[in-house]
Amino acid sequence: MRVGIFGGTFDPVHIGHLIMAEQSREQARLDRVWFVPSARPPHKRDVAVTSFAQRVEMLSLALVGRENHFRIETIENDRSGPSYTIDTLVELRRLHPGVDFCLMVGSDCLPDLPKWSRPHELLRTTELVVSPRVGSPSMTAAQVAELLRLPADEILRITHVDLPHTEFASRDLRARAAAGRSLLWMMPESVEVYIRENRLYRG
């Protein structure tokens, strides 16, 4: 079984996340996509993040009726320390032997791969499913190998996905919510209602 791992803070989950998940599932021929919310994102140590439980609740609301193709994996909340992607993948492989896990990322993440924890191990063991981001041209497998200074004959598995033009950023939606502005059509209505009723992002 091929499973796409979609990590992120999902603070909050929005339509862009959901489109990326479905298009990656279809185009990369994934059997399922697992949303893996970060518990302690290492790149956001100095940024306030909504509680893990509330972010999982919003994901659950967004995925109602789609459980046959999507699920939420809370593994990162079960261990201490920063939520490094490679550690999550190693643990998932231990728990689910025989599953071919792929990592879903945006093209804007590729230039930062050298800063990731154990990027060589990650790229040698995991197929990347890359979605485009405006202003971040995608990179070929050869370019990624060169970026990481891997041998020229290193074979990396990278699948590129085409997406409709939708540019949403969770930070922008948090700012809109903080200002009391509308979030209509930017996320499932159930998530919008949850944010409003729980007064998330209001400071």
Other C-beta atoms closer than 10 Å to the C-beta of 29 total 12
Residue 30 belongs to a domain: yes
Rg of the Cα trace of the chain?
A: 17
Residue 116 belongs to a domain: yes
Sorted by sequence, the CB contacts under 8 Å of residue 125 that are 6+ apart come out as 89
2: exposed, middle or buried (Cβ count in 10 Å: 0-12, 13-18, 19+): middle
* pLDDT tens readout for residues 25-74: 999 999 999 999 998 776 666 678 999 999 999 999 999 999 999 999 99
For residues 122 and 116, the answer to whether their CB atoms sit within 8 Å is yes
Q: Which two tokens stand for residue 55?
A: 């972010």
* pLDDT tens readout for residues 127-183: 999 999 988 888 999 999 999 999 878 899 999 999 987 778 999 999 999 999 999
Residue 98 belongs to a domain: yes
Residue 124 belongs to a domain: yes
Residue 70, phi-psi category: left (phi > 0), alpha (psi -120 to 50), beta (remainder)? beta
Average the pLDDT over 2-24 and give the result.
97
CATH assignment at residue 18: 3.40.50.620
Residue 39 belongs to a domain: yes
* pLDDT tens readout for residues 172-182: 999 999 999 99
Residue 203 belongs to a domain: no
Q: Residue 165: its pLDDT value, please?
A: 77
Q: SS3 of 38, please?
A: coil
Could you report how far apart the first and last alpha carbons of the chain are, in Å? Answer: 43
Largest CA distance in the chain: 54
Task: Provide the strand spans (E) within 53-196.
Answer: 70-72, 100-106, 127-131, 158-160
Residue 202 belongs to a domain: no
Instruction: Report the alpha-carbon distance of residue 91 to residue 201 in Å, rounded.
Output: 32
Q: Which domain holds residue 96?
A: 2-197
Q: Residue 66: its pLDDT value, please?
A: 95
Instruction: Report the alpha-carbon distance of residue 193 to residue 113 in Å, rounded.
Output: 36
For residues 176 and 182, the answer to whether their CB atoms sit within 8 Å is yes
Residue 58 belongs to a domain: yes
Look up the pTM and report it.
0.93
For residues 10 and 37, the answer to whether their CB atoms sit within 8 Å is yes
Instruction: Report the alpha-carbon distance of residue 102 to residue 160 in Å, rounded.
Output: 12
Supply the angle between the helices 189-197 and 52-62 in degrees, to the nearest 10: 150
How many independent structural domains does the chain possess? Answer: 1
